[in-house]
Structure 1
Amino acid sequence: MVESVYKGQLAEIIEVIESIADPLNTANLFLSFVSIFINILHLIILTSSSMKSSSTNVIMIGIAIVDIFTLTLTVVKHASLVDIENNECVTSNLFWKVYFDMAVWGLQDYFRRCSTWLGLMMAIVRTMIVKNIVGTSHSALTKPRFGVCIVFIIIILASTLSIFYNLRFTVVENRSDNLPISCEEFQDIEKPPRFSLNLVNLFTMNEKIVLRVYLMVDAVLSKFIPCILFPILTVVLIRALSKAKEARKKSKQVQNKDHTTVLVIVMTFAFFIAEAPLGIIYTINAFHHDNAHLIIASVDVIIVFACLLTINSTCHFFFCIFLSRQYRSTVYYTFRLDKLVLTNNVNNGETRNASSVAVPSVRIISVH
């Protein structure tokens, strides 16, 4: 593909990117399997009665659910699609298969958008709580019901862009023109299968103005704005946490570390690291959609950074393990590790009382 589109030094650069992207694509498939399993465990813990006590935890439940769907669809794409890199390259000799592959692309785009927006809202809500914006430390913002409302609002709002996303394509039979040049890595663009995709007239008229506007709006809302807000919110939360610590020192209060805010800071920073490169790439592509060379080059770059999204999703479980005492206690008692410790002690001939066994604190505190 590189030789037919690029020449000279640029071709060499793209070849290097492709050489990195191909193994990372395979690695991302393996990581997706691992991440699905870890996120299911994460979801089991978060949905226990002791964890559903704050809006932050409820939003984390929403993130875990959409991440599981996103990762599952990544696996489906590898198993089903001819070209997993370009949605405009969906083709098949079966009519229903084209629609199925379109649905896979659309749903993955939808769930990724939900994950990004939920991560952003989690940081915004935590910032409002820590900054005490509504004037009371026990406001409605901390209640689980508020978290549920946030999740449903994001699910509904994200669906509007995704519906528009799927409406831009129509299935055509025995097309007379070639497939887009971006499809030539995996298909013969001059002899495509029986069914393929074309843009509907609404997205091709007036120099594709509707398509351009959609891509720009999607890039700004789904990638660029989160890319800007994630680091800002991280800094705001760190400063708020620092001020709260200083205030406790001056008032000589007991030092109770705000584990929830620390957890949100770490997750917000991780979202930024994972989303920022893709945000920049998608924004550039939106403004240069007709530059086929740029689009082709960016596809492999997107694959490289898409692995960060999978890694970020996998890390949420471990962030919670290391930073939340409540989460660790819930893990311990959900999987009956206390009984395992007691059983091992009995088998080893130990005579200590059950109360003397070293276990995490069972005191479950609502995290606000």
Structure 2
Amino acid sequence: MKTKTSTANPFYDYIQWDLYSDQSETETTTLYYGYHYYELYGHYDLETDFAFDFFKSNFELLRYLVHATTTAYEIASVINFLVNIPHLLILLQRELRTNLVYVIMIGICLCDLAHSLGVMAHKAVVSEMFFPIELCYYGQPYIVVILAITSRSLQVFSRRCAAFLALFIAAFRAFSVIFPMSSSVNFLMKGKSAILVVLSFSIVSGAWGMYYFVSSKIETVLECNPIEPGYRTTYDPYRFVTGEQWEKTFRYVNGHISVSVSFIYIFATAALVIALYQAKKRRKGLKNDKPNNTSGLILMMAVSLFLSEATYGALFIFIYYYNDFQDQLILEDFEVLALIFSMINSTTHFIICVFMSSQYRDTIKRMVGWKEKQKMDNVKNLIVVESSAHPSTAHTSKTSNDSKKTF
């Protein structure tokens, strides 16, 4: 790893300006001990610095990987949306929406859908599905920029809210097993209490996402093509100003929140496993001792969410400590890799519910009519068995009916 020397703003064209002009008329985002590089040395450093030689020697390969993972992320958002729509419809059924765990899972599902919708809407506009976008290297139509910021804000909101809700499920389950007679457990088990929990976390996470949206800066682009000075699009192009100090700090804090949530999850699930083991020992030998599928569901969700949140948080904490290196720009682009884990985590919720919850499976059977058909088959089988077991009764009934006939 190399020591940082200096760097130039990658979004600024210094060649078009006098390098010795007044510093107030130029643009740079790089600070050294409170001073701009220009103030220290009288000129801008045009050399691009890398903290790791690997990033420098494999720059083109990494750019290709970023493009590939971005495409995979967009495809994953569509799959996640298609999977979570039926998942939401199942969770909204009467037999599930009265259970605290499933009510909170409705909130998680809505967060996942919001995340996917933001990505899909932005991709649809950028792909010119609704209107053409003219060539401009440095800017885009205002609506595209707004959608990009909205998509990121929804991503921030949905990830925080879904993580907090999933953590609450695990913590509550552990608490309810350890203290089954607690009045707090009885209060929270009610459906209305679960709705209150979802709304509370939604408001907090919504404020966090709104802070990102409001703090984002949009500026007008004056030049679209450096090769053709004066070239303009028919509309005013804009760009989302990235890399500012507030955004770096925001991502750093957001990364710490993600890592903290993932490790608290470890303690919550560990407490749950221990409590379940002790409860199983107490129930040992009872005839009604049955496996707790809901607890298995929560454990599987915990593993899935830990991988998603820990990867996401660690990435942004790592990025923060390599500020102003060219590596930082590459690592920021690899955010989509962590977001793919998030999409996988969201998609697995439906699969986990199907395999781990008998109540969830019974609800699906009822919705597709399988359960009613099974009941009818059982009734028919019972009639056949009764007829086989008591043939004389059937014959007597037939004789009795024949005797009632009049000629």
Partner Cα distance (1:253, 1:341) in 2: 27
Partner Cα distance (1:302, 1:198) in 2: 18
Alignment partner of 1:32 is 2:68? no
Alignment partner of 1:121 is 2:155? no
Q: Percent identity?
A: 21
Match of 1:186 in 2: none
Alignment partner of 1:172 is 2:206? no
Which residue identity lines up with residue 219 of structure 1 in the other structure? G
Alignment partner of 1:79 is 2:124? yes
Match of 1:42 in 2: 87
CA contact (8 A) 1:29 1:74 kept: yes
Partner Cα distance (2:360, 2:343) in 1: 22
Alignment partner of 1:318 is 2:354? no
Which residue among 254, 260, 265 is the counterpart of 1:225?
Answer: 260
Q: Which has the larger radius of gyration?
A: 2
Alignment partner of 1:277 is 2:311? yes
Match of 2:240 in 1: 197
Match of 1:366 in 2: none
> 1:123-272 counterparts in 2 under 5 A?
123-132=170-179, 135=182, 139-174=186-221, 194-198=237-241, 208=245, 213-221=249-257, 223-249=258-284, 252=286, 254-272=288-306
**SS of alignment partner, residue 25 of structure 1:** helix
CA contact (8 A) 1:36 1:72 kept: yes
Partner Cα distance (2:383, 2:362) in 1: 17
Partner Cα distance (2:383, 2:74) in 1: 45
CA contact (8 A) 1:171 1:196 kept: yes
Alignment gaps of 5+ in structure 2: 1-9, 11-46, 128-136, 226-231, 385-407
How far the C-alpha of 1:47 sits from its partner, in A, is 0.7
Match of 2:338 in 1: 305
How far the C-alpha of 1:326 sits from its partner, in A, is 0.5
How far the C-alpha of 1:13 sits from its partner, in A, is 4.7
226-235 vs 152-161, greater mean Cα deviation: 226-235
How far the C-alpha of 1:322 sits from its partner, in A, is 0.7
Q: 1:287 to 1:150 in 2, by over 3 A?
A: farther
**SS of alignment partner, residue 50 of structure 1:** helix
Match of 2:380 in 1: 353
Which residue among 93, 99, 103 is the counterpart of 1:54?
Answer: 99
Q: 1:94 to 1:9 in 2, by over 3 A?
A: closer
How far the C-alpha of 1:143 sits from its partner, in A, is 1.6
149-158 vs 330-339, greater mean Cα deviation: 330-339
Which residue identity lines up with residue 324 of structure 1 in the other structure? S
Structure number with greater CO (CA < 8 Å, separation at least 6) is 1
**SS of alignment partner, residue 219 of structure 2:** strand
Partner Cα distance (1:321, 1:137) in 2: 29
Q: Deviations over 1:2-24 (max 9, x none)?
A: x9765854334555544444333
**SS of alignment partner, residue 139 of structure 1:** helix
Match of 1:63 in 2: 108
How far the C-alpha of 1:260 sits from its partner, in A, is 1.1
Partner Cα distance (1:314, 1:54) in 2: 21
Q: 1:13 to 1:97 in 2, by over 3 A?
A: closer
Q: 1:276 to 1:253 in 2, by over 3 A?
A: same
Partner Cα distance (1:317, 1:235) in 2: 23
Alignment partner of 1:100 is 2:158? no
What's the TM-score once normalised by structure 2's chain length?
Answer: 0.69
CA contact (8 A) 1:263 1:323 kept: yes
Alignment partner of 1:22 is 2:67? yes
Q: Deviations over 1:68-115 (max 9, x none)?
A: 111122222323348xxxxxxx96443344323322222222222211
Q: Matched residue pairs, number? A: 324
Match of 1:185 in 2: none
How far the C-alpha of 1:313 sits from its partner, in A, is 0.9
Partner Cα distance (1:302, 1:60) in 2: 25
CA contact (8 A) 1:216 1:286 kept: yes
Match of 2:132 in 1: none
CA contact (8 A) 1:91 1:197 kept: no
**SS of alignment partner, residue 97 of structure 2:** coil
Q: Deviations over 1:186-231 (max 9, x none)?
A: xxxxx997312347xxx96xxx4x555544333322x121121122
Q: 1:4 to 1:216 in 2, by over 3 A?
A: closer
CA RMSD of aligned residues (A): 3.7
**SS of alignment partner, residue 257 of structure 1:** coil
Which residue identity lines up with residue 353 of structure 1 in the other structure? K
Partner Cα distance (1:328, 1:307) in 2: 27
105-114 vs 62-71, greater mean Cα deviation: 105-114
Q: 1:73 to 1:100 in 2, by over 3 A?
A: closer
Q: 1:94 to 1:19 in 2, by over 3 A?
A: closer
CA contact (8 A) 1:106 1:166 kept: yes
Which residue among 353, 362, 379 is the counterpart of 1:329?
Answer: 362
Q: 1:150 to 1:28 in 2, by over 3 A?
A: same
Partner Cα distance (2:182, 2:320) in 1: 41
How far the C-alpha of 1:157 sits from its partner, in A, is 0.4
CA contact (8 A) 1:54 1:143 kept: yes
